[in-house]
Structure 1
Amino acid sequence: MTLSLISLFTFIAALLTIGYCRFNQKTGSLIVAGWAALTLLTGSWHNGVWVLVVLACVILAIINISSLRLNLVSKPSLKLLKRNLPKISETEQQALEAGNTWWDAELFSGKPNFKNLRDLTTSSLTFEEQAYLDGPVEDLCKDLNDWEICHRDLDLPPKIWQQMKHDRLFGMVIPRAYGGLGFSATAHSAVVMKIASRSITAAVTAMVPNSLGPGELLHRYGTKEQKDFYLPRLAQGIDIPCFALTGPEAGSDASAIPDTGVVCKQDFEGKKDVLGIRLNFEKRYITLAPVATLLGLAFRLTDPDQLLGDNNDIGISLALIPTGTDGINIGKRHFPLNIPFQNGPIWGEDVFMPIDWLIGGTEQAGNGWQMLVECLGDGRGISLPALATGSGKLLSHVTGAYAGTRKQFGTAIGRFEGIEEPLAEILANTYIMDAGRILTATAIDQEQKPAVITALMKYQLTERMRSVVNHAMDIQGGSGICLGPSNFIGRLYQAVPIGITVEGANILTRSLIIFGQGAIRCHPYLLTEIKAAQNDDLALLDKTLFSHFGFVFSNLTRSVWFGFTNAFFESPGTPVTRKYYRRLARLSASFALLTDYALLTLGGTLKRRERLSGRFADILSSLYLCSAVLKHFEDQGEPHADLPLLDYSCQSLIHDAQQAMLAVFHNLPIPLLGKALRLFMFPFGKPYSPPSDKLMHDVAQLAIKSSATRDRLCEGIYTTDDPTDPTGRIEHAFNLAQAARAIEVRIKRLAKDGRLEAKTATARTEEALEKSLISTKDAALLREARDAMLNAIRVDSFDPEALKQP
């Protein structure tokens, strides 16, 4: 009996070891075979253990004898997979082939290699890049008057346009060899972030030519002639580009683009029978279209006369066309929520262009969708996250100062628990956004093109911007809703839906792209299995399938082990960050296992289960951002004062991942099996709680006091303490309030002791001065601080005529 129990426990331990350590097929088979042999030799196979021995031998035979494996498992699996795995369309295939995978694949693996993440050298700005931020970008920000831009001019002033062109702001991503700045992704992000902290209109104007603009497409795919001619013109602002993808019917769905180009011959500019393309298109929501001199265009190209080859339907293609070309019409401007960046419709009727206007020439004809997807990463992964982070840093800085300055009942409102909650959320979201921004830009700088992560970043950071702006609006109250020269938040509030809508609407990004593409791109075996099933490649499937079985078994054993130990024996990170790395390891294993469960039970229908896909996207997003936060904290030297931000950010992200995972459990097929899986993963119930009230208090206090933590959090935005500036007046009042705080505390104590009889703060100041309880200098400081506070909370008002736009 004792030997049998020992043999049983040894068998369980062997399986757990194989799964936890993720041994390969050969090593795992040897371990199980050794156990079976030892059990038989010691005679401990009685009392039912013989059943395990026989089962182990049968499984070993199937796994290791190819003929048995092929006939009993692989062939039936091929038929099953052909019926149930999702079909991949042409555009989906091109999207999957665009870019690559990175840390997202590690999270899908269930066993992320945290050493690789921690050893990654984070990008930093070069001397030239930092000088550009401190010089031209700083000067630009000083000159921006957002009230005049948004209310009076409804455009950037001519001086600002000229300044942007002169400083080659539209050529940040264009190499220096062509006259551009040749900036890194990190510098590109830093520039957009700083401008966004001053004016959303200016930030959008700057970021579009450097994101999905012809400059990036030309740099990657253009012919030598195209690069030599256009890139210097774009870098210097001689040409202003726009890119037209979105149309009235198909939106940004390239597979449904109704815009057409037909290969033909036609006389053109005095030349006979020029080989070219006749275009008909209608586009809208095109940023910079009203002022563009150069149009990048996506359309479906056909060749009915087979002038280019044997293929009639060539596919999505991209062209570069001067907007003065006959047949091109630029419509009136759109007006996106009072954020007056140049945006409008553009269409073309029987526009003829020479064939060499195709971006990349005829060699790139039909490759347009893949080209677009790869370049979309800059908008999704750099520009929009930078804009969102700039907004978060601005509001952390200014709304925090406002909460530390504005008083009710004689106390700064930032000390009220009701204010602390949204204030803590503002700071934590900003910390999360900045960490994600830096990590993603670093990946792009190191030649990574993680399409899933860039989509994730766009969705997550624009949504967190929405949360930050809403919380700041709650704190600002009436001063936030009354527009005027002094209002620094109203335009941010109006801009939130714009960021959420562009570069792919967030609803679709969450419910279709992040997990829908992520599961296929990042899963170590799924894409290979889909290709094997579609091509009837039994050998490839056989090779992949049993590795996939081992992968599922490993994640199951790791999930069970982590469920009972909370990954206590994992040891990545430092003594400060280790507990959070352990939680990430645990949730990553569970996420990978849940993914396979959903794929197994739902198959191809998972593509249509958008709510379920969205919850999986939320899990992946939280795990990625938590990874970024941990790296960010360690890269900054683990400052002890920043611990509240680390703890709040990690706890909220891990709790979000847990809650999304539990929501997935409730909506999976075969509820009984789903409940069993949940019991394995969370045997003691929900392990992770959201941040506590005490932690919320600690984070909120960081916003209303001057500190190195506040400086680190808000680094990289435009700041001023000029009392005539919309944000500077609040920082000026905040600085004076900090300086006067000790004197105010002394006067309150004197009043409490009965030594001062006056009831108002102003009267107490004068009484204390008369009684020589404070100095003349102290009284002057208190008066100055009060005047600054009144200026900080001032709200604009107008004569009716003054509100009318000229």
Structure 2
Amino acid sequence: MTTPPRIDAVFDLDALLTEGEREWQLAARRFAQERIAPVIEEDFERAHFRRELVPELGELGFLGMHLDGYGCAGAGAVSYGLVCLELEAGDSGWRTFVSVQGSLAMSAIHKYGSEEQKQQWLPGMAKGELIGCFALTEPQGGSDPAAMTTTARRDGDGWVLDGVKRWIGLASLADVAVVWAKVVDGSESVVRGFLVPQSTPGFTATPIEGKLSMRASVQCDIDLDGVRLPSDAMLPGAKGLSAPFGCLNEARYGIVWGAMGAARSCLEAALERSTSREVFGKPIGANQLIQAKLADMLVEVEKGILLALHLGRLKERGALTPAQISVGKLNSVREALAIAHEARAILAGDGITNAFPVMRHAANLESVRTYEGTDEIHQLVLGRALTGLNAF
């Protein structure tokens, strides 16, 4: 259960990890190799999400693993990142599941919920017995959440929610949705979070059809039509957009690691092909051009992992900034896509088939590039950090 020896021989990541971190990584690698890899091409083809694997993720401690208490593992940031890396080496959809469940839905409840809300939801979510989703994005403004049109209004002792959300992971499977809505109070409006059980009348989640990416996972449209909630459905600690952004940064951090897992998988496929396929009487890996491609791919994988590790150590010290997360997310996904495309070229015509994972990773990474902030959004975050000028 190790990375192919030729990659390890060039760069020894294990020397930079603790024994506990390595144990988390190997557990995730075993799950990816034994439970995801044998079925993922069929699941991608059929657009099928294997919900039956969710309790196994809970048993392994992967769900909300960076959180403390309530049945969560309380693991370090690097351990969580390594799990994301190994799961995404299997498929981006499974790292996305862990991110939505743990970094978004569970983090929102853990950071901003009341003690009663935490006790009600978090233990079951940590075990994989309950599923959560995080409903922020809307059809007309994925990159501009300040322009959200979903509203919450007071009605007696409770709340009524109306609006629409789009591209909400797990929504049709979720037991509870963390829904972000604007509360209008006189001339002032502020974004607040609400816990909405899926069984609530007026809440409808519809899986999005026709996806050519992330086909082994579930993303949905949500309609909120007069959804009535009790007064205690609001997350008391969440006020303003800084609340959902706090959760998004947790998910973005996981992507920094996860995208490098997809990149490593593509590099492994290209490396195997370069030594097993012969053209003009010798393995294609004996050609200088192929070796140059492999070398460049390896350099970017290892640079990306080292950057992720650096960010993880900063996070564990409480020193990680949003701009630093943007550096990682922008670099990891952009380079992972470039590696996938280069690997496809090395695989030649066979690279477009599901005999290799490369085209599936490339398709998935197009989604990863878009969600949790597009390239352009992260470039603007970094531009603001460099110049002090807001170009949004």
| TM-score, scaled relative to structure 1 | 0.45
Which residue matches 1:208? 100
List per-residue Cα deviations over 1:749-783 (Å, max 9, x = no partner).
xxxxxxxxxxxxxxxxxxxxxxxxxxxxxxxxxxx
Contact 2:136 2:179 in 1 (8 A): yes
Partner AA of 1:169 in structure 2:
F
Cα drift, residue 370 of structure 1: 0.8
CA 1:210–1:487 in 2, change beyond 3 Å: closer, same or farther?
A: same
Contact 1:331 1:344 in 2 (8 A): yes
Superposition pairs for residues 7-26 of structure 1, below 5 Å? none
Q: 1:151 is matched with which residue?
A: 45
Q: What is the match of residue 263 of structure 2?
A: 392
Pair 1:373-2:245 in alignment: yes
Change (3 A) 1:294 1:252: farther
* Residue equivalent to 1:343: 219
User: Does 1:174 pair with 2:67?
Assistant: yes
Distance 1:218 1:519, change over 3 A: farther
Give the Cα separation in 1 of the matches to 2:289 and 2:244: 46
Q: Distance in 2 between matches of 1:461 and 1:164?
A: 24
Once the two structures are superposed, residues 161-216 of structure 1 have per-residue CA deviations (whole angstroms, 9 ceiling, x without a partner) of 332243343231332x31112221111111111111122222222222122x2211
Give the counterpart of 2:82 among 190, 194, 218.
Answer: 190
- Whole-Å separation in 1 of the counterparts to 2:120 and 2:52: 26
- Partner SS for 1:289: coil
- 1:253 shift after superposition: 1.4
Q: Which amino acid aligns with 1:240?
A: I
Q: Counterpart of 2:10?
A: none
The residue aligned with 1:315 is 190
Alpha-carbon spacing, 1:225–1:164, altered in 2? closer, same or farther (3 Å): same
Q: Does 1:515 align with 2:383?
A: yes
Higher strand share: 2
Rounded to whole Å, the distance in 1 between the matches of 2:170 and 2:91 is: 16
Q: Taking structure 1 as reference, are residues 475 and 344 closer, same or farther at Cα in structure 2, changes over 3 Å only?
A: same
1:426 to 290, 293, 297: 297
Q: Which residue of 2 aligns with 1:257?
A: 148
- Residue 394 and residue 247 in structure 1: after superposition, are their counterparts in 2 closer, same or farther (change >3 A)? same
Name the CA shift for 1:137/1:473 in 2 (closer, same or farther; >3 Å): closer
Q: 1:140 to 1:414 in 2, by over 3 A?
A: closer
2:208 maps to 333
Q: Match for 2:335 among 464, 469, 480?
A: 464
SS of the counterpart of 1:397?
A: helix
Q: Is the 8 A contact 2:28 2:87 kept in 1?
A: no
Cα 1:445/1:357, change in 2 over 3 Å: same
Return the offset for 1:415.
Answer: 2.5
What is the correspondence of 1:450-489 to structure 2 with a 5 Å cutoff? 450-483=321-354, 486-489=355-358
**1:221 and 2:221 aligned:** no
Q: CA RMSD in A?
A: 2.2
TM-score by length of 2: 0.89
Residue 353 (structure 1) shift: 1.4
Residue matched to 1:17: none
In the alignment, structure 1 residue 131 sits paired with structure 2 residue 19: no
Corresponding residue number in structure 1 for 2:231: 355
In structure 2, distance between residues paired with 1:282 and 1:463: 30
Deviations 1:84-132 (Å, cap 9, x if unpaired)?
xxxxxxxxxxxxxxxxxxxxxxxxxxxxxxxxxxxxxx984453x5434
Distance (Å, rounded) in 2 between the aligned partners of 1:123 and 1:230: 36
Instruction: Give 3-state SS (helix, strand or coil) of 1:461's partner.
Output: helix
Task: Give the AA of the match of 1:149.
Answer: D
Equivalent AA in structure 1 for residue 221 of structure 2: P
Flag the 1:518–1:214 CA change in 2: closer, same or farther, 3 A: farther
Deviations 1:230-249 (CA, angstroms, capped at 9, x unpaired):
21121112220110111112
- The counterpart of 2:127, out of the listed 236, 242, 255, is 236
* Paired residues for 1:292-691 under 5 Å: 292-304=174-186, 312-340=187-215, 341-359=217-235, 361=236, 364=237, 367-381=239-253, 383-483=254-354, 486-510=355-379, 512-520=380-388, 607-608=390-391
Unaligned regions of 5+ residues in structure 1, if any? Answer: 1-121, 266-274, 305-311, 521-605, 611-806
Partners of 2:181 and 2:16 in 1: how far apart? 37
Preserved CA contact (<8 Å) 1:193 1:386: yes
Aligned residues: 375
3-state SS in 1 of match to 2:167: strand
Same amino acid, percent of matched pairs = 21
Return the index of the structure with the highest Cα Rg. 1
Aligned residue type for 1:284: R
- Residue 504 of structure 1 deviates from its aligned partner by 1.2
Query: Cα deviations across residues 437-489 of structure 1 (Å, max 9, x unaligned)?
Result: 10011111111231001112111110001111111111111111123xx2221
Measure, in 2, the Cα distance between the counterparts of 1:495 and 1:343: 13
Instruction: Name 1:286's counterpart in structure 2.
Output: 168
Q: Tell me, yes or no, if the aligned pair for 1:288 and 1:342 is still in contact at 8 Å.
A: yes
CA deviation profile, 1:61-104 (whole Å, cap 9, x unmatched):
xxxxxxxxxxxxxxxxxxxxxxxxxxxxxxxxxxxxxxxxxxxx
Distance 2:80 2:302 in 1: 19
Q: Is the CA contact 2:164–2:224 (under 8 Å) kept in the aligned structure 1?
A: yes
Q: Is the 8 Å Cα contact of residues 54 and 128 (structure 2) preserved in structure 1?
A: no
- What amino acid is aligned across from residue 513 of structure 1 in structure 2? V
Letter in 1 for 2:177: L
CA spacing shift, 1:519–1:230, aligned 2, 3 Å: farther
Q: Deviations over 1:279-317 (max 9, x none)?
A: 11100111111211110111111124xxxxxxx424111
* Cα pair distance change 1:518/1:234, threshold 3 Å: farther
Kept in 1: contact 2:311–2:320 (CA 8 A): no
Q: Is the 8 A contact 2:269 2:343 kept in 1?
A: no
Q: Quick check: 1:218–1:227 contact (8 Å CA) kept in 2?
A: yes
Q: How far apart, CA to CA, are the structure 1 residues paired with 2:361 and 2:32?
A: 19
Q: What corresponds to 2:6 in structure 1?
A: none
Partner of 1:569 in structure 2? none
Q: Deviations over 1:1-54 (max 9, x none)?
A: xxxxxxxxxxxxxxxxxxxxxxxxxxxxxxxxxxxxxxxxxxxxxxxxxxxxxx
**Alignment partners' CA distance in 2, 1:335 and 1:445:** 40
Distance 1:436 1:455, change over 3 A: same
Report the secondary structure of 1:173's partner residue.
Answer: coil
SS of the residue 1:347 aligns to: strand
Does the 8 A contact of 1:452 with 1:518 survive in 2? no
Secondary structure of 1:178 counterpart: coil
Q: Which amino acid aligns with 2:44?
A: C
What is the CA–CA distance in structure 2 between the aligned matches of 1:418 and 1:157, rounded to whole Å? 40
Q: Is the 8 A contact 2:110 2:118 kept in 1?
A: yes
Deviations 1:594-620 (A, max 9, x none): xxxxxxxxxxxx645x8xxxxxxxxxx
Residues 487 and 439 from structure 1, CA distance in 2 versus in 1: closer, same or farther, beyond 3 angstroms? same
CA distance in 1, matches of 2:162, 2:325: 32
The answer on whether the counterparts of 1:455 and 1:514 sit within 8 Å (CA) in structure 2 is: yes
How far apart, in 2, do the equivalents of 1:125 and 1:323 lie? 41
Q: Distance in 2 between matches of 1:407 and 1:123?
A: 37
Deviations 1:505-550 (CA, angstroms, capped at 9, x unpaired): 112321x222124543xxxxxxxxxxxxxxxxxxxxxxxxxxxxxx
Matches of 1:156 and 1:457 in 2, distance apart?
A: 28
* 1:140 CA drift (Å): 4.8
The 1:338–1:461 alpha-carbon spacing in structure 2 relative to 1, beyond 3 Å, is closer
The answer to whether the 8 Å contact 2:206/2:220 transfers is yes
Q: Tell me, in whole angstroms, the C-alpha distance in 2 between the residues paired with 1:493 and 1:431.
A: 19
Q: Which one-letter code corresponds to 1:202 in the other structure?
A: W
Distance (Å, rounded) in 2 between the aligned partners of 1:228 and 1:126: 32
